[in-house]
Amino acid sequence: MFNAPLPATVIAGLLGIPEEHHLDVRRWSAHALRVASPERRPALAGLHGLPADLVADKRRRPQDDLLSALVAVRDEEDGRPTEEELVGTAMMLIVAGHESTVNLLGDAVLALLQHPEQLGLLRERPELMPGAVEEFLRYDTSVERSTSRYAAEDVELGGVPIPRGSMVVVALGAAGRDAPQA
């Protein structure tokens, strides 16, 4: 897959993940989001175990990376965020930083191949790229659904009652679209 190495390398570098774990990050991230994958549980375990080990290591030997900075904030702020929240944040950054970028790159290439006139326009006017990135994100979202959330209060959405405490997952792919015309 042409679009996987760069995002994994970048997020691993930002978090201070040693190079010997970069392939693990790619593999675990890919399997963790596949609900029906038999490799999902081991991937989630790896994605939890690696940050937990790294947090302990960064505490002993801080470096110039995001995870070391997060550990320092946690240790200086009377335990806030909690250790579990710190590990969960690192895990989410790994998955979100890798998987969403892999999908964005693949979706963008596909969109440009399907719309060669837009590809030509970007080649002629590279200054349009920042807006194009925003449009790629809107056109075909790189993340299909949100993480699970829980309703803070009883609410009705589109005629469907959602009781307080119910799990809610947002279909992000439905956002950024025009409303159906009546």
Q: Which pLDDT value is given to residue 98?
A: 77
**E-assigned strands of the chain?**
149-150, 155-157, 160-162, 167-168
| Domain locations in the chain as residue ranges | 5-143, 144-177
User: SS3 letters for 143-172?
Assistant: CCECCCEECCCCEEECCEEECCCCEECCEH
Topology of domain 5-143 in CATH is: Cytochrome p450 (1.10.630)
Each residue of 8-63: pLDDT tens digit?
A: 888 888 999 988 888 888 888 777 777 677 888 888 888 888 888 998 999 999 99
Cis omega (within 30 of 0) for bond into 81: yes
* Residue 102 burial (10 A CB sphere; 0-12, 13-18, 19+): buried
How far apart are alpha carbons 179 and 177 in whole angstroms? Answer: 6
Q: What is the mean pLDDT of residues 152-164?
A: 92
pLDDT band at 85 (very low <50, low <70, confident <90, very high): confident
Q: Which pLDDT value is given to residue 177?
A: 65
For the chain, the average pLDDT equals 84
